[in-house]
A and B are shown apart, each in its own frame.
Chain A
């Protein structure tokens, strides 16, 4: 036999005959193709609505493209925010008049009502791109850029993550870095910290635009714990510097004897713009366990966050994915959140007291807890395609510091409960 012919397809032909003799049956056809999964598209439309407050409609698209060397992901998001948002001022037994952030209009709040700024309206566009590829024998690197734009805010960011599989890939170590540079150009200008709100037309209390930077470092380990369980532990530290104040939030200045707001310069009552520190360092620890219990999958996670503003928070999150038949699953979700107040949080300022360096009456910096209850129904139908619908209810209750509700404030709801409904519709193909 010639050597050349062996190199030819006769090896395969002879081999097939030998295999048929061994197995005692001729071989069947072979039909195999590369899966044409070079593209994956995720789309979702979601609605978030707080009772009597802000609502957000959000459309998201994620496109993933597989290449020989890695995966490219692009995300586009469009948010449309409307409605009213709490200004930070306390309710009063009197009607209150506020100057809108633009400085050229005013709005009125009824006696006893929580002051909500009704001029809240924003559209946010966000784009991001990530490239994921293997590095060396066991590593992987993910590099990303992001940008988003609102009429008063611009964000740009870079991020990188390296992970390496050890111990036959049962352990994965991850290291991440992220950096963001944001600029803020508030409507009407950024207020002078703790300056009084002035009547429409007056601009002596406003400055120009401002900026902030945020740096993040993350280390994490993911560990396979047996055949059904996966555990993850992450530690991250985040440092923000620059303009961290909310330019639209104020504090009411209250008479220490009566609890009523005191008279203001050119407007009925005195409100001062909030002032937050110009640095913030957060540390967070995140632990997660995913466990398969036969067909259902349970996912429990806990996050602890502490920062140098005095906020400590705990988040407990629980998902249970329950398949129903072959083509549907139901996924209940429970989340509990608890946080302590920032050191400079106060529901109002007292007239006659020396002005503090920092103060904010933003309820999101106060002591609060929140519960989320949700349910997701999904219909995966092969090849990675899936429809899903999610509905959630969120309720947040705050606690005013002891002794807060005195005088005329005693009968008012200084720290009202916030309720929100979330619904989401998702299609992946």
Chain B
């Protein structure tokens, strides 16, 4: 779907369970259509390839290999190397095998916490160090699962932006469900204005307006996904080391960085730092917005 706004085109599509948009500062409708198609195709390609839910995806093949090693293509290899590096940089707090914890944690706003025993039972299947990855072949222990959900949208945004930056001289803003990247600055260095939803507001009043001139912007945190028991709020960011939600995590963290992945990973790491989110983010020397 394409429409003209004040001086730019807005294209929209649905991917990765999120509304996605491309804002394009180009004059011609056909050029806007072409860019929108490239971004949507790239996003859908990544979604299809890395979805946990689609039977043909590489992630499904790895997860169902039941203790056998699987050889992966170059792109997947680079993503797995990246996941390895993130695991190191986060002292084990960012772990692409932590998705199995969702079997016991359902953040539906209720007070239904899982039992200690149930958490322990799934937590045994979490841990990147127990995965055998040699740069070409990956082998998961039985019952372990791989999940790129924590970086999929950011990766797709950067990849899609990379595919249009060469062929389009106008500035484009790729927005995949709130994870954003600007391909190049707009005419006259005018910023793109983006609204970051304040998680506890029912109305746009409380949206934070950010002017994004260059680079990426990503937000971690979702106020709609939590559990509440005895007055304690359990946010949906899980610590893979304990199997429990990170204590005292902010409601949301937004970070601006050169790429959407950098912004998204720093936002996630900020959340994983719980009460120390602000201290951690200050030290990273990036623009950030923490909401508690």
**Is B30 on the interface with A (CB-CB < 8 A)?**
no
Number of interface residues of A (CB under 8 A): 50
**Is A401 on the interface with B (CB-CB < 8 A)?**
no
Which of A30, A164, A327 is the one whose CB lies under 8 Å from B215?
A30
Q: Which of B236-288 contact A (CB under 8 A)?
A: 256-259, 261-263, 265-266, 269, 279-280, 283-287
Q: Which chain B positions have C-beta within 8 A of A11?
A: 89-90, 266, 269, 280, 283-284
For the complex formed, measure the closest distance between the CB of B199 and the CB atoms of chain A, giving whole angstroms: 8
Name which of A3, A34, A136, A381 has the most chain B CB atoms within 10 A of its CB: A34
For the complex formed, measure the closest distance between the CB of A327 and the CB atoms of chain B, giving whole angstroms: 6
**Is B158 on the interface with A (CB-CB < 8 A)?**
yes
Contact assessment for B215 and A6 in the assembled complex, using a CB-CB cutoff below 8 Å: no
Give Cα distance in the complex from A104 to B39, angstroms.
79
Contact assessment for B201 and A18 in the assembled complex, using a CB-CB cutoff below 8 Å: no
Q: Name the residue on B nearest A386 (C-beta).
A: B6
Contact assessment for A18 and B86 in the assembled complex, using a CB-CB cutoff below 8 Å: yes
Main DSSP-derived SS at the B contact region: mixed
For the complex formed, measure the closest distance between the CB of B205 and the CB atoms of chain A, giving whole angstroms: 5
Q: Which chain B positions have C-beta within 8 A of A381?
A: 6
**Is B193 on the interface with A (CB-CB < 8 A)?**
yes
For the complex formed, measure the closest distance between the CB of A298 and the CB atoms of chain B, giving whole angstroms: 15
Interface size class, chain B: 35 or more
Give Cα distance in the complex from A110 to B266, angstroms.
83
Contact assessment for B6 and A29 in the assembled complex, using a CB-CB cutoff below 8 Å: no
Are A139 and B212 also in contact (CB < 8 A) when A8-B283, A382-B6 are? no
Give Cα distance in the complex from A25 to B165, angstroms.
12
Q: Which chain B positions have C-beta within 8 A of A27?
A: 215, 257-259, 262
Give Cα distance in the complex from A6 to B191, angstroms.
33
Could you give, for residues 1-18 of chain A, a 1 whenever the CB lies within 8 Å of some chain B CB and a 0 otherwise?
001001111011011101
Q: Which chain A positions have C-beta within 8 A of B7?
A: 326-327, 382
Contact assessment for A137 and B200 in the assembled complex, using a CB-CB cutoff below 8 Å: yes
**Is A132 on the interface with B (CB-CB < 8 A)?**
yes
**Is A163 on the interface with B (CB-CB < 8 A)?**
yes
Are A168 and B224 also in contact (CB < 8 A) when A30-B257, A32-B211 are? yes
Q: Which chain A positions have C-beta within 8 A of B221?
A: none
Contact assessment for B216 and A30 in the assembled complex, using a CB-CB cutoff below 8 Å: yes
Give Cα distance in the complex from A71 to B203, angstroms.
12
Contact assessment for B162 and A23 in the assembled complex, using a CB-CB cutoff below 8 Å: yes
For the complex formed, measure the closest distance between the CB of A11 and the CB atoms of chain B, giving whole angstroms: 5
**Is A310 on the interface with B (CB-CB < 8 A)?**
no
Contact assessment for A32 and B287 in the assembled complex, using a CB-CB cutoff below 8 Å: yes
**Is A257 on the interface with B (CB-CB < 8 A)?**
no
For the complex formed, measure the closest distance between the CB of A38 and the CB atoms of chain B, giving whole angstroms: 10
Q: Which chain B positions have C-beta within 8 A of A8?
A: 283
- 16 sampled A-B residue pairs with Cβ under 8 A: A9-B283, A11-B89, A15-B85, A18-B89, A19-B158, A19-B259, A22-B155, A23-B159, A28-B258, A30-B287, A32-B210, A34-B211, A140-B201, A172-B202, A172-B203, A382-B6
Residues of B within 8 A of A (CB): 3-8, 78-79, 81-82, 85-86, 89-91, 155, 158-159, 162, 185, 190-191, 193, 198, 200-203, 205-206, 208-217, 223-224, 256-259, 261-263, 265-266, 269, 279-280, 283-287, 289
| Contacts A6-B91, A34-B209 known; 16 new A-B pairs at CB < 8 A | A7-B279, A9-B283, A9-B284, A9-B285, A12-B284, A19-B261, A23-B159, A27-B258, A30-B287, A32-B213, A33-B287, A34-B289, A35-B210, A70-B205, A165-B202, A165-B203
